[in-house]
């Protein structure tokens, strides 16, 4: 797949354009830097606070990946179990939906009471928030095996495990990776929320401390770092997805 040059340059063009418009708008409208600093001021803050930002970013990334990793392990297990049994699916689905609809911000204070301020609240928040989409998608992949495929396998004398291993798991991989892209961003959001309330480190904590100081340029700098990190995480998941489930992307649609 070769994209024309215009498509390759488009992301760069739009990103640069965004910052230029932002800069010009701030200067022309004379917006106070306490409210919206210019991009140049934000980049200035990035240079000035580069070490706290870098340390914070590293910490946030590490906590996110820890929570996300835990989430993958457990949600895949739960997804496989739920997807292979109608009884468990019927029983556990309402519970999962219920847990998922609780705003995770509301859970963090509880985590602080249980585990104290530290690395656990952000990790657990990241874990809890990214758990649900993976479970649902893995279970869906398994539950939607074509009945004929199942018949072919059963008529050969395949066990439930055979069907799961040869058909169910490969079949749910595209669903799994699709959900990972959503889940990794969610884990990241969860981690920052956890850090804001329940941690002394990380970008979330940095934001919590910059806000009372009205250090808007630093706030924006932290947001920018968060955005870059978020994009990086999605890109990594994307690359892994393309390597493992290229077979699922066969149509030219949207290419």
Q: Which residues are near other proteins by CB under 8 A?
A: 146, 148-149, 151-158, 162, 166-167, 170-171, 173, 245, 247-248, 250
DSSP string computed for 145-199: --HHHHHHHHHTT--HHHHIIIIIHHHHHHHHHHHHHHHHHHHHHHHHHHHHHH-
Task: Answer yes or no: are the C-beta atoms of 218 and 47 closer than 8 Å.
Answer: no
What are the angstrom distances between the C-alpha of 10 and each of 16, 27, 39, 239?
A: 10, 26, 20, 20
SS3 percent helix, strand, coil of the chain, rounded to 5, is 80, 0, 20
Residue 66: φ, ψ to 5° = -60, -50
Q: Which residue has the tokens 């920052």?
A: 192
Residue 229 neighbours by CB under 8 Å, 6+ apart:
57, 60, 61, 188
């Amino acid at each position: 797949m070769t994209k024309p040059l215009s498509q390759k340059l488009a992301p760069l063009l739009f990103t640069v354009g965004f910052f230029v418009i932002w800069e010009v708008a701030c200067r022309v409208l004379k917006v106070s830097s306490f409210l919206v600093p210019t991009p140049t001021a934000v980049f200035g803050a990035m240079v000035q606070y580069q070490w706290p930002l870098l340390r914070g970013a590293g910490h946030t990334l590490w906590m996110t990946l820890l929570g996300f990793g835990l989430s993958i392990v457990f949600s895949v297990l739960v997804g496989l179990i739920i997807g292979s049994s109608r009884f468990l699916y019927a029983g556990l689905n309402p519970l999962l939906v219920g847990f998922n609809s609780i705003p995770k911000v509301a859970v963090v204070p509880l985590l602080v009471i249980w585990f104290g301020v530290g690395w656990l609240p952000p990790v657990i928040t990241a874990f809890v928030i990214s758990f649900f989409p993976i479970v649902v998608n893995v279970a869906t992949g398994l539950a939607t095996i074509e009945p004929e495929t199942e018949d072919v396998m059963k008529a050969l004398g395949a066990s439930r495990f055979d069907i799961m291993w040869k058909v169910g798991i490969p079949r749910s991989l595209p669903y799994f990776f699709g959900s990972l892209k959503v889940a990794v961003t969610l884990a990241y959001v969860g981690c920052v929320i956890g850090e804001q309330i329940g941690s002394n480190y990380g970008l979330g904590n940095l934001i919590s401390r910059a806000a009372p100081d009205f250090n808007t340029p630093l706030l924006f700098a932290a947001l920018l770092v968060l955005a870059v990190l978020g994009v990086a995480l999605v890109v990594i998941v994307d690359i892994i997805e393309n390597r493992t489930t290229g077979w699922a992307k066969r149509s030219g649609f949207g290419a």
